[in-house]
A and B are shown apart, each in its own frame.
Chain A
């Protein structure tokens, strides 16, 4: 362990975390330890720690502002990710740590007939919708890109699935009365830029997307109010699209008569226009578009990399899949590097935007190393490529992932 890793191993106290020289000491008894994300070339180890409000044990990528990743075993217990294990990602440190539910207002303004200032009580009186949907960071699994790219060095845990309850964005927009020249809707939350003059975090959707009846303003997540770190009191839910659009602490909706040309749409969170957002490493000056819909993914969650498994006639293997912005049609499993694939049993269907559980029994031939791969195909016939894509922002990874285990007669 080098000194940077050593710095990351200190347990996180209530008020003071990773403090200076004290942090250079080895992990004390009772500390929650480390997780190895197996990022090629490292650094790969991260502390596992509690200490964040509303959160249990999380992989700590950054304390300030928080970047907290969900450990993979959480996804094995349930297709719905508990609120206290749901990943956290803030761009700016300047977000409120106190929100008064009575005083909170959501503004709806811009190209509307009646600008609104909506309180939570009013939102709670509106017709309600509920939807299971995966919330996944655009840069989930960025740490696995090769060549490596800068940014938050996530493993696979910058994602989660929840039952979101709220109101249709369309209903809110209709109350305000969208004018005929509207083309986009821009969203912002209570988080401000830490430094004056820096771009506040804002994202926009095309007007037809915003009014599709599925985009939701959610006040509940898995039946409870949102943890502050996940966007209390309300956040945007954009089913099937990456989390960058799911504005937390949503406080400002602005209907625009031209596409949003501000930083977070025009310069950031953009992907190459090539199929799969894949370009040759080092390519300069390629055309880009804002990131949007998610792609199919699947993960083995019942086994950990390097785990020893007992030699039996068959081995149970299970995991989760998402179809991107479509339903999971099937998940297949390969134990021979992708030459042959066997079907898996899908668990209950919670809707097209949800994680779906899959399970299989894999015949074992004998002891030795075994590499497992899962492959999801959605109901539009879109599958997962074997080869990883590359782009300089580390967005939209969706290739078949591998987990290697050791089958042992004595395990």
Chain B
């Protein structure tokens, strides 16, 4: 794993991606620090991070578009498959390299609160907690981007899909306000999700029995819950949208709260997408 990790980190910094990524984050970090803290005289560094979180829309595709798609384009994925190393280690090596590239500009930004505290009263705990959340948000989005990179072949398509995925997630909390809050619409949405899960399973396993079983279990569970606790379905859909919004989880740190549920959400989103990436790479053994 360390071999993959070292090669990936090197590759990010010998090509443009690592530098471009760092430059973008530091540029916007600098602009917002100047505008809010220096000119606007706010002592809260977390506002800077809150305002600049949209940069992930641009930098996530830059960082992740090549991670696995480029391996396939250059046919180096055959080397990875032939190495005496499990796919989990390979994917983790790549993911940790992404985290390292992400950590570099964030570590630089870690100096800003210290600089600011020389001129005013900065709540360092809140500043660094939100910096951690900012890093975890980036980590979760990088996992999403890596997964997208593992399913598409073209780098351009990859960047576009990644951008749209992050964009939808960015607006998910705002969209939640428009989602119907009636219990029947929640039921319909859950049925739809059950069907989606079954379709994904069917696609991954190519086994109709497994797909049908998944559909039966999910839909059955939803129906049972509907009859048992109908009230719980009220307003479920907007709440679900809001909960799934990674940016929203990060935003909870803006109020100076250390939100463990948000940390859990971001970390588990990262874990789920790393796992999906491993599965998607393994699946290529069967179909590619």
Partners in one complex: no
